[in-house]
């Protein structure tokens, strides 16, 4: 293969995905791995994960590492310099190091909505955070992790749902259909067995977050599920309220994360957002955070992302995205 290639990696709390493409926006291959959240896995595990993804992409495209100009790894939990340095240190003996750029996954998520430009991002995925990037200055509200925050996230939504099952068990109340599905999801027969199952999970955050899909599927048919979703949405509104004075209201707020991929959740939230903040508009990216990381790799190399490049990215991404969903 002739020409240089760029790799974008998006490491989230549930999964890590990667894409490789050229400077013209042709995305050539994708790869998928496990959680890339540095707060949930060790630096050694992250090192192995990144190498596996890079090698998958190289194999799929018939390329070698010397064909790669830059690897932009946008990883959850790597938003501070100390965490980024740990990853760089892990690659000290690897030829990947000279090509590696580490940043937080929120940078890639914002880039997916702004094509690498400035703006404000609201994430509602495994975690929840507001991130703003204006004139090389950044700000963040929330994003304190599952132990100290993440209200409005998939983890928060899942926790509220599981708690509702346990509270029903304590009160000897009958379970709603969606609550029964939670027991099935964890392959247990009784609510009290959830405790052992979740606390014994190798990644409790991912396990709890996975329940959010069950709740979202029940929004239209169950009032309790609707109330749980409403509580999560209100927590996101509170995040925006705390960040409101710092948001550039001339630009849309980019909504990113698994919760917003649910159409009902997205539509209900945007109605709530408009009612509370009439001067804010919302935008949902048409590309993923993985492609956002690839865009940032191009920007790091001073590659112009023209309208033609954007069009090519969208066209080729549609052909690949099914492989990692």
Cβ–Cβ under 8 Å, residues 129 and 141: yes
In this structure, the answer to whether residues 180 and 259 fall within a common structural domain is yes
Q: Where are the alpha helices (DSSP H) in the chain?
A: 43-61, 81-90, 105-114, 145-148, 154-170, 177-185, 193-199, 204-209, 212-217, 223-243, 263-276, 289-300, 307-320
Note the pTM of the prediction, 2 decimals.
Answer: 0.77
pLDDT at position 105: 87
Query: Do 211 and 170 fall within a single domain?
Result: yes
Are 89 and 177 part of one and the same domain? no
Inter-axis angle of helices 43-61 and 81-90, nearest 10: 60
> Residue 48: which CATH number?
3.30.420.40
| 72 & 179 share domain | no
Query: Is 36 within a domain?
Result: yes
pLDDT (tens digit, 0 to 9) for every residue of the chain, 325 residues total? 446 999 999 997 778 999 999 999 999 999 999 888 777 788 899 999 999 999 999 999 999 999 999 999 999 888 888 999 999 999 999 999 999 999 988 889 899 998 978 889 998 988 898 998 876 778 888 878 788 888 999 999 999 999 999 998 888 888 899 999 999 999 988 898 899 999 988 888 889 999 999 999 999 888 999 999 999 999 999 999 999 988 988 888 999 888 998 999 999 999 999 999 999 989 988 898 899 999 999 999 999 999 999 999 999 999 998 887 7
- Do 304 and 233 lie in a common domain? no
| Number of domains forming the structure of the chain | 2
pLDDT of residue 300: 92
Determine the structural domain holding residue 76 and report its residue range. Answer: 5-117+286-323
- Rounded to the nearest 10°, the torsion over CA 158, 164, 169, 175 is -90
> 172 in a domain, yes or no?
yes
Q: Tell whether 223 and 239 lie within a shared domain.
A: yes
Q: Is 184 found in the same domain as 297?
A: no
pLDDT for the residue numbered 1: 46
Residues 110 and 187 in one domain: no
Spatial distance between the Cα atoms of 207 and 133, rounded to a whole number of angstroms: 31
What is the spatial distance between Cα 296 and Cα 294, in angstroms, rounded to a whole number? 5
| Domain contains 176 | yes
Residue 128 in domain: no
The pLDDT score that the predictor gives to residue 3 is: 66
């Amino acid at each position: 293969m002739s020409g240089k290639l760029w790799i974008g990696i998006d490491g989230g709390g549930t999964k890590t995905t990667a894409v490789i493409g050229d400077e013209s926006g042709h995305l050539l291959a994708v790869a998928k791995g496990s959680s890339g959240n540095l707060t949930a896995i060790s630096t050694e595990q992250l090192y192995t994960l990144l190498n596996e993804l890079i090698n998958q992409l190289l194999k799929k495209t018939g390329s070698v590492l010397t064909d790669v100009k830059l690897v932009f790894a946008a990883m959850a939990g790597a938003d501070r310099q100390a965490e980024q340095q740990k990853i760089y240190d892990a690659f000290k003996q690897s030829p990947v190091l000279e090509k590696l750029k580490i940043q937080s996954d929120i940078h890639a998520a914002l880039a997916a909505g702004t094509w690498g430009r400035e703006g404000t991002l609201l994430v509602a995925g495994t975690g929840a955070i507001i991130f703003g990037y204006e004139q090389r200055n950044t700000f963040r509200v929330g994003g304190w992790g599952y132990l100290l925050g993440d209200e409005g996230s998939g983890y928060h939504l899942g926790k509220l749902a599981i708690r509702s099952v346990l509270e029903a068990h304590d009160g000897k109340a009958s379970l709603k259909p969606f609550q029964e599905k939670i027991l099935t999801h964890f392959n247990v027969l009784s609510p009290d067995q959830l405790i052992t199952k979740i606390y014994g999970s190798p990644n409790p955050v991912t396990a709890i977050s996975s329940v959010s899909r069950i709740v979202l599927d029940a929004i239209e048919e169950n009032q309790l599920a609707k109330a749980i979703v409403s509580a999560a949405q209100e927590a996101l509104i509170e995040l925006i309220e705390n960040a409101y004075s710092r948001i550039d209201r001339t630009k849309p707020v980019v909504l990113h994360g698994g919760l917003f991929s649910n159409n009902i959740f997205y539509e209900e939230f945007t109605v709530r957002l408009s009612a509370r903040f009439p001067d804010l508009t919302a935008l949902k990216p048409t590309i993923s955070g993985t492609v956002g990381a690839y865009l940032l790799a191009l920007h790091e190399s001073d590659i112009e992302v023209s309208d033609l490049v954007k069009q090519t990215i969208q066209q080729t991404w549609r052909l690949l995205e099914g492989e990692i969903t």
